[in-house]
Amino acid sequence: MTLQPPPLRNDCFALPPGVDWTPVDQALSLLRDRLHPVVARQEVPLMQAAGRVLAGDLVARRSNPPQANTAVDGYGFAAASIAGQDTVALPLVDGRAAAGVAYDGKVPPGHAIRVLTGAALPKGVDTVVLDEDCATGEGQVAFRGPVKPGSNTRRAGEDIVAGTQILHAGRVLTPADLALAAATGLNDLPVFAPLRVGVLSTGDEIVPAGAPAGPGQIYDANRPMLLGLIDRFGHLPVDLGHVRDDRAALRARLDSAPVDVILTSGGASAGDEDHVSALLRETGALTAWRIALKPGRPLVLGLWEGKPVFGLPGNPVAAFVCTLVFARPALGLLAGAGWEEPQAFEVPAAFSKNKKPGRREYLRARIRDGRAEVFKSEGSGRISGLSWAEGLVELPDHAMLVEPGTPVRYLPFGSFGL
Ligand code: AMP
Ligand code: MG
């Protein structure tokens, strides 16, 4: 069964009238309100489901564990039959219970049976003593009491009871989730189809990595970076290549793109050669968001044939930050995974900065000796700083005086799934 969600509304990126510089939080909440999953549902066997997004709640078909069983190798018996005894000696019944090989008989009161880890508890057994605490011989097992009833056993369903919800729609399935689903009797899982994210570079000066480049030409750094980010976010990266600053070429590339959403970089300003914004404006479904963020302007959001287009800045650092801060949560929503806030940590700064009011700032940062240090330059063309960094320091919209030791918000790249 393939269920296709409705298209996005044409005005989904419109800003309220009068808005000029949009604060980051407002921009994020607009995205959050207006985007919804655009991917179809499908079923996959759980062997292929790691990293996929659940499209429905999962209900345990079976309890875990399905039966009461022993947690150790040892001897099982009924606790009531040795109540109050300090030293215990019980005759052993013939046979044993092992994992997957049940003991069919009933163990009479006052008797014990050899049990191995994982074995279902035989009838008449509710308690187990560990091998190491036992002496055996002459058909008997001896150990010291008192023994707590139920010791060294696992109750049926003590982890999960059949019929309970184990995971909710929107969950990005972890390896541990697959263990849980398998243990509770599930195999075919409802998931969303992977979100296909196209990545397109624009600009007359841009040449692909490895090609001969003349003076004044720039290697396409954004495309491999963005494709790699998409992959790490768990979506399907689709390389849409590079187009020159030519509106017809750009239009043709967007038209034929076999994707659900498009990330472009470059050409997003309002200049003569900024064809991404010009083209999207022609379709009437463009909002050039001037977000109060550094680095990261301009960011253009639009729809092309109903597909969201994120027009990222050309500068690699700005493109990277905008992708993490804006595109990532939006892509998560489009992919059915819901809106995810990156986990942030408050850490003391290892740097000084007199931050001006008016826009939020993201600094390339990393933690050393428990303090956040920042890259030596804030220049948004400094690609080496992205490579140096292991996270971002987020400074608030308002002014802030940072001195060594001042608590700052640190977002490790791991919080963005990198
Ligand atoms: P634009 O937004 O097109 O004016 O580009 C802003 C800056 O980013 C310019 O210096 C571009 O050369 C640079 N730039 C644009 N696209 C890329 C790219 N794919 N890789 C590296 N730099 C780029
Ligand atoms: Mg350009």
134 Cα: distance to centroid of ligand 1 (angstroms): 74
325 Cα: distance to centroid of ligand 1 (angstroms): 19
* 297 within a domain of the structure (yes/no): yes
Residues linked to residue 5 through DSSP beta bridges, in sequence order: none
Q: Which of 154, 185, 205 is the last residue of a domain?
A: 154
Q: Quick check: helix, strand or coil at residue 378?
A: coil
296 Cα: distance to centroid of ligand 1 (angstroms): 12
First and final C-alpha spacing in the chain: 33
What ranges make up the beta strands (E) of 186-313? 188-192, 196-202, 206-207, 218-219, 236-243, 261-265, 286-294, 299-304, 307-312
* Nearby residues of 225 by Cβ (< 8 Å), 6 or more positions away: 316, 319, 320, 386
Counting every residue written for the chain, the total comes to 418
Which residue's CA is minimally distant from atom 14 of ligand 1? 314
Residues 35 and 118 in one domain: no
How far, in Å, are 40, 166, 167, 183, 231 from residue 173 at the CA level? 17, 12, 9, 15, 15
Whether residue 268 has its Cβ less than 6 Å from ligand 1: yes
* Nearby residues of 98 by Cβ (< 8 Å), 6 or more positions away: 115, 116, 118, 119
Residues 208 and 297 in one domain: yes
Q: Which of 335, 362, 396 is the last residue of a domain?
A: 335
From the CA of 267, give the closest atom in ligand 1: 3
From 220, 265, 277, the mutation candidate for ligand 1 (largest count of ligand atoms within 8 A of CB) is: 265
Any idea which residue has 């969600």 for tokens? 5
Whether residue 313 has its Cβ less than 6 Å from ligand 1: yes
The CA dihedral of 327, 208, 315, 289, to the nearest 10 degrees, is -40
Distance (Å, rounded) from C-alpha 203 to C-alpha 169? 40
- Number of domains making up the chain: 3
348 Cα: distance to centroid of ligand 2 (angstroms): 38
Residues 329 and 351 in one domain: no
* 97 within a domain of the structure (yes/no): yes
Residues 284 and 388 in one domain: no
From 206, 226, 247, the mutation candidate for ligand 1 (largest count of ligand atoms within 8 A of CB) is: 206
The CATH number linked to 260 is: 3.40.980.10
Distance (Å, rounded) from C-alpha 42 to C-alpha 1? 7
306: left (phi over 0), alpha (psi -120 to 50) or beta: left
265 with 312: CB under 8 angstroms?
yes
How far, in Å, are 58, 167, 232, 399 from residue 62 at the CA level? 12, 14, 33, 56
Any idea which residue has 């994020």 for tokens? 28
Which residue's CA is minimally distant from atom 17 of ligand 1? 314
Residues 215 and 286 in one domain: yes
From the CA of 221, give the closest atom in ligand 1: 20
* Nearby residues of 48 by Cβ (< 8 Å), 6 or more positions away: none
Judged on CB neighbours under 10 Å (0-12, 13-18, 19+), 188 is exposed
Distance (Å, rounded) from C-alpha 301 to C-alpha 356? 27
Judged on CB neighbours under 10 Å (0-12, 13-18, 19+), 414 is exposed
Fill in the DSSP letter of residue 214. -
Token pair belonging to 149: 């009833």
From 226, 315, 384, the mutation candidate for ligand 1 (largest count of ligand atoms within 8 A of CB) is: 315
Whether residue 312 has its Cβ less than 6 Å from ligand 1: no
How far, in Å, are 36, 69, 250, 259 from residue 200 at the CA level? 23, 57, 9, 12
Residues 28 and 83 in one domain: no
The CATH number linked to 146 is: 2.170.190.11
Residues 369 and 388 in one domain: yes
**DSSP H or E run through 225:** helix 222-233
Low-confidence ranges of the chain (pLDDT < 50): none
Residues 325 and 204 in one domain: yes
* 239 within a domain of the structure (yes/no): yes
294 Cα: distance to centroid of ligand 2 (angstroms): 19
Residues 148 and 197 in one domain: no
pLDDT tens digits, one per residue of 24-44: 898 899 889 989 999 999 999
Q: Which of 294, 313, 335 is the last residue of a domain?
A: 335
* 369 within a domain of the structure (yes/no): yes
From the CA of 242, give the closest atom in ligand 1: 19
pLDDT tens digits, one per residue of 179-221: 999 999 999 999 999 999 999 999 999 999 999 999 999 999 9
Whether residue 269 has its Cβ less than 6 Å from ligand 1: yes
pLDDT, position 12: 67
Q: What angle do CA 20, 344, 335 make, to 5 degrees?
A: 70
* 310 within a domain of the structure (yes/no): yes
* 59 within a domain of the structure (yes/no): no
Alpha carbon of residue 42 to chain centroid: 20
Residues 399 and 293 in one domain: no
* 203 within a domain of the structure (yes/no): yes
Residues 149 and 99 in one domain: yes
Residues 86 and 200 in one domain: no
The CATH number linked to 379 is: 2.40.340.10
Give the domain range for residue 385: 345-416
* 113 within a domain of the structure (yes/no): yes
